[in-house]
Amino acid sequence: MPNPSQPAFVLVRPQMGENIGASARAMWNFALDRMWLVAPRDGWPNPSARAMASGAGRVLDAAEVSGTTAEAVAGCSFVLATTARGRGLTKPVFSPERAMQEARDRIARGERVAVLFGPERAGLENDDIARANAIVSVPVNPDYGSLNLAQCVLLMAYEWRRATAEVVPESVELAGAEWAEQAEIEALSAHYEERMEEAGFFFPEHKAESMKLNLRNLWSRMPLTRADVRTLHGILRQMVRWKERGR
């Protein structure tokens, strides 16, 4: 099986070309391009698959085809089988996250890993699962455990990406802006404090210091850019001018 640096995604007896194409698209979203097809119902190649792949045709071009699951996984040392139902077989059961961590670690040691996905109608058969070393169980709604083939492929591909690449949990798109520096925030705070003092905001007098402290703390909690600071200065200046014109 080629490219041992990533797991092979093995679609066992897929029924619809559209689902094969959608699976290829899901794989390529996360830089996976090792697809293996076991006895696709409508033969191969399939024009419906290519139409659905939407730019992920390279995955289809490189896809391997075999007649049996045994042939597809013959070169692998570790095989995972995705299934939503208990099959009465004694095997380790992994979550998708843990399964892809295991795949990552084994591949790093030079092993070849495959992930089996069953046909749309009923999923993998026991004969397929018996060839796997472990089961992957998705924690879906117990009253409705049916996952579309491409959905399951996408979920596993995403977990592979999480296991092998840095995923930033949160970021801010500054769109060309820069964060304001502390000196700029301090000047903004002083500007507002001065004008609010003139307006009699800090009343009664014995509460003035705590009110000023709360105001400074408010500015420090706000993630302000330099453009934000200029805007807030401008708003206050215009309000003061408007008040003076009304006298």
Provide the residue-wise pLDDT of the chain in tens; the chain has 247 residues.
445 699 999 999 999 999 999 999 999 999 999 999 999 999 999 999 999 998 999 999 999 999 999 999 999 999 999 987 666 788 999 999 999 999 999 999 999 999 999 998 888 999 999 999 999 998 888 888 778 999 999 999 999 999 999 888 898 888 889 999 999 999 999 999 999 999 999 999 999 999 999 999 999 999 999 999 999 999 999 998 887 776 6
Q: What confidence score (pLDDT) does residue 88 get?
A: 77
- Looking at the domain 8-164, which fold is it? Alpha/beta knot (3.40.1280)
- The values of phi and psi at residue 180, to 5°, are -70, 145
| Residue 119 preceded by cis peptide, ω within 30 | no
CB atoms within 10 A of CB 168: 5
Q: What confidence score (pLDDT) does residue 3 get?
A: 53
